[in-house]
Amino acid sequence: MPRPDLAAMLLQLGRATAIAEEPILRDHDLTMWAYVVLLHLDDQPVRTQAALAEAIGADKTRIIDVLDNLQHRGLIAREPDPADRRARLLSITPTGQKLRNSAQTAIQANEQSLLGTLTAADQRKFLATLQRLADEIS
């Protein structure tokens, strides 16, 4: 019997992990989109709203409410771009970093229940391969 398609396997795994993250994100008063924004701002400390939207695969008008909420809570800062006053530069605040790190630690600890079914060597290989594939498409 042939193996399942990659998309089918990843979709099932993605759904299961997203469902497992929901209560953790709720405990941290974050939506999935807010968490994704906080994760991506750490990779690139300052970027425009349009660049961020593209990087996370969101419509730039859709994330405005998410950014407004994060800014209102003091988790991100938005400042006019000196090179283009219409654009906003984004950065994560220390409070945002602390919340993001706390949520990420809890999520990754929860992931151990699934990863724990693999040997330590298989965990390293799986995570390295998954990262390599993710890097290929970004």
pTM recorded for the entire structure:
0.87
pLDDT of residue 1: 77
Q: Into which CATH architecture does domain 6-137 fall?
A: Orthogonal Bundle (1.10)
Section 57-85 average pLDDT: 92
Q: Is the dihedral of CA 28, 33, 35, 41 positive or negative?
A: negative
CB atoms within 10 A of CB 53: 21
Examine the pLDDT at 62 and tell me if it is beyond 80.
yes
Question: Nearest to residue 20, comparing CAs of 110, 105, 109, 104?
Answer: 110
User: Chain-centre distance of CA 98, in angstroms?
Assistant: 15
What is the torsion angle, in degrees rounded to the nearest 10, for the CA atoms of residue 32, residue 33, residue 34 and residue 35?
50
Joined together, the tokens standing for residue 105 give 């630690």
pLDDT-wise least confident of 22-26, 79-83, 92-96, 103-107 = 79-83
Q: Where are the domains of the chain?
A: 6-137
What are the pLDDT digits (tens) for 85-112?
888 889 999 999 999 999 999 999 999 9
Between the alpha carbon of residue 33 and those of residues 38, 67, 83, 88, 89, the distances in Å are: 9, 10, 28, 18, 18
- Mean per-residue pLDDT of the chain: 92
What are the pLDDT digits (tens) for 30-54?
999 999 999 999 766 677 888 899 8
pLDDT of residue 72: 98
Give 115 or 84, the one with higher predicted confidence.
115
